[in-house]
Each structure stands twice: as structure tokens, then as C-alpha cells.
Structure 1
Amino acid sequence: MPEASRGERAIEGFLSASRWLLAPFYVLLVFALGGLLVKALQEAWHFLSHIVAASEAEVILGVLSLIDLTFTGSLIVIVIFSGYENFVSKIDSSAHRNWPAWMSQIDFSGLKLKLISSIVAISAIQLLKAFMNVKGASDRDLMWYVVIHVVFVVSGLLMALTDRVSGEAHGKGGSTGH
């Protein structure tokens, strides 16, 4: 293979350095996580201040809202760390003694599956909240909640299936395309 020209190496270096343009996006997601925490605290305050007078259904809805916010926060953390590791720079986990092992082991395929799994879980909670408050929702609204949830579930299954088929093709000597 011929030696790369100086111009080619310069372009490749420039393209490689451009990945750092993603870093501010991950920093902004940290601020979004902080905003979500504020909303979670507001929801918890409202939930706890009304818990004595609340019905069983209202308590379940309050808990589901907190779970929903927690899943959304977890989704943001997955995107921040996995995205940064996959697209910007590796993080030296040895410098952080409480570093969760999964953060440095997830690849892009795993990231996609974790993302769609989180979205399906969030959708399922929204659907359950709608069914718990069935008197406040129209049949049309409920139908759309179900349709949207089914689309997310089917999308997740198709992503998992294509990753599995792709992985089997690569494992059997198939071309990676790179």
C-alpha cells in the first residue's frame, strides 16, 4: 500500500480532530440532566406533599412519574458516557475508582440497544400512566399511546435482530465493510 501523502495525512488529522466538536453536546446533556433533576425534585415534592390525601391510583401515578424521570435520566447518562467513549475519546476509568464497568465496555451496537430499550421502557410507563388515568384520556389518545408504544417495541426488536444477523455474518467470516 503506498505511503499517504502529506495532504492526505493533514485531511485525516483534521477529520479526526473534528470529533471534538461533539464534546460540547455531551456537556450540554449534563446540563439537561441537571434540568431533569430539578423537574424530578418538583415532582417528588408535589407527590410527597399530597401523598396522605392521595388515592391508591394517584400514588401509583406519582411513583410512575418518578420512575419515568429516572429512566430518562439514565438514558441521558448512557448517551453521555457511551457517546463520548465511542465518538470522542476514551476515558481512563482507572483514574476514577467508582467508575461503573459497563461505561467502558459498551460499543455502538450496545448503545443503540440500550437506547431503544430505555425508550421502550419510558413509553411503557407513559402507556401505563395513561391506562391508570383512563377516565382522563379519550379512546383516540389511548389508541395512539398503544400504537406509538408498539412502534417502539417493533423498532427495538428489528434493531436487535439486525445487530444479531450482522454479528453472525461478521463472526462467520463476513465482510465488515471497512
Structure 2
Amino acid sequence: MDETAATAPESGAASRGFGAALSFSRWLLAPFYLLLVVGLAGLLLKALQEAWHFITHVFTATEAEVILAVLALIDLTFTGSLIVIVIFSGYENFVAKIDAGTSRNWPEWMSKIDFSGLKLKLISSIVAISAIQLLKAFMNVKGTSDRDLMWYVVVHVVFVVSGLVMAWTDRISGEGGGGKKGKGQPAAP
């Protein structure tokens, strides 16, 4: 009996230490989010390069080339938005809360999106990016093989179906609606 009493405080301390180590491990994600900021900066440079190319060739380009250039800028913008969603929502959900009071221009959605909402925003952005790629392929149908067009369509349909399935499963599980109680859902116990 003395032996059990002597090991109980030690196991409690070990358990607290292990829990603290696990809790601290979430900070290992912080460098990933910083690397995404670097990726966002690289994407900005690519967008500036695309914009420069667009501006310098706009008067000699055909209508289809102008549309393709604009679609490329939209695609880069959607991708940048996707990165921002992942950075802020991921950091808030998995690392630490961000004090929204430090900036008066803080978007309201950033502090209210939960993991379910993050998944749906991500898949929505991916579907939009895929749609832009598909539209670009159809705008350049003469320069795109039938096989490539087929794969663009297949990939896009897979993303759309995946998004619908995720939204449906979130709705069934009661996680949809940004953490708010939806219609017909029972009140929390």
C-alpha cells in the first residue's frame, strides 16, 4: 500500500509533464505557417510578373489572350486567398488564438471560422481554382489535347463531388454552420 501511495504523485507529475509537452508541441506548426507566408510572398511576385506581362502585351493580344491573362490573375488571387485562409484559420485552430483587437481592419470571419468551416472554405477555394484552370483550358481549346481536357473535367468533378460530400457529412454530423446550431439540430446538452 505504501508503494502505491508513493508512485501516485510521481505518475501525476509525469502525466502533467507529458500533457504539457504535447500541448507545447502544437507550436511546432508555427514555422509551417511562416513558410506559407513566404509562399504567399512568392505568389505575389508571380502575380506581379503576370500583371506586368499582361500590361505590356494588352494592346497586341487577342481577346482570348486577354481573357486567359485575367483568368491567370484570378487564379493566383484565389490561390493567395486559400493560403491566407490556411494561415490564419490553421494558426487559430491549432496553435494559438490571435488577438483581433490589435487591428481595426481584422476580417470578422477570421476569428469565427471553426475546423468544419475551414474545410469547406478550403474545398470551395480549390473548386474555384480548378474551375479557373478548366475555363483556361477551354479558352485555349485549340492548344489543349482532348485527353488533357478530359482530365481537367474529371479532376474538377472530383473536387466538386468531394466538396459536396464534405458539406453533407458536416451537416449530418451537426458541425456545419460555423459552430452555430442549425435548423432541426438538438440543443447542446
TM-score range, shorter chain: over 0.9
State the Cα distance separating 1:95 from its structure 2 match: 1.3
Q: Distance in 2 between matches of 1:161 and 1:25?
A: 30
| 1:172 correspondence with 2:186 | yes
The answer to whether the aligner puts 1:78 opposite 2:78 as a matched pair is: no
Counterpart in the other structure of 1:88 = 95
- The residue number in structure 2 matching 1:141 is 148
Whole-angstrom distance in 1 between the partners of 2:143 and 2:64: 13
Q: Secondary structure at the match of 2:174?
A: helix
Q: Between the two proteins, what is the percent identity of the paired residues? A: 75
**1:85-111: CA deviation from partner (whole Å, max 9, x where unpaired):** 000000011111211111100000000
Unpaired stretches in structure 1, ≥5 consecutive residues = none
2:63 aligned with 1:56: yes
| 1:12 has 2:26 as partner | no
Q: CA distance change for structure 1 residues 87 and 125 in 2, over 3 Å: closer, same or farther?
A: same
TM-score normalized with structure 2 length:
0.87
Deviation (angstroms), 1:127:
0.1
Gaps of 5+ in 2: 1-8, 176-180
Structure 2 residue matching 1:33: 3-state secondary structure:
helix
1:172, CA displacement in angstroms?
A: 3.2
What are the Cα deviations for residues 124-169 of structure 1, in whole angstroms up to 9, with x where unaligned? 000000000000001000000000000000000000000000007x
Length, aligned pairs only:
173
* 2:111 counterpart of 1:104: yes
Q: Deviation per CA, 1:72-91: give whole Å up to 9, x if none.
A: 00000000000000000000
Q: Aligned AA for 2:32? A: F
Q: Give the whole-Å Cα distance in 1 for the aligned partners of 2:114 and 2:125.
A: 16
Structure 1: 4+ residue segments shifted above 2 A: 170-175
The structure with the larger Rg is: 2
CA RMSD of aligned residues (A): 2.0
